[in-house]
Amino acid sequence: MTFSRLALVAASFALLTAAAAAEPTTYPLTLENCGETLTFQKAPASTVTNRWWCLNDKNCPIRGW
């Protein structure tokens, strides 16, 4: 393996490691988008997904999940 390839692999590993070490979400969490502010006081107790629309679409990017 050449030095440049080894350096690329090392840099890629460092970036992936940094992404995996992200801090957990803290609350209250305030988000701002298009001038609107939304604040969540605590984490949600449950979540809902809605992917039925994609199950019959052969071009769906998440098909097979």
In the chain, domain spans: 3-44
Q: Which two tokens stand for residue 53?
A: 């629309």
Q: How big is the CA angle at 23 (ends 7 and 16), to the nearest 5 degrees?
A: 20
pLDDT at 38: 94
The reported pLDDT for the residue numbered 6 is: 77
Residue 54 to residue 60: CA distance in whole angstroms: 6
Residue 12 has a pLDDT of 74
d(CA 8, CA 23): 26
Is the pTM higher than 0.95? The answer reads: no
Asked whether 20 and 9 are in contact (CB, 8 A), the reply is: no
pLDDT tens for each residue of 2-12? 777 777 777 77
* pLDDT for res 29: 94
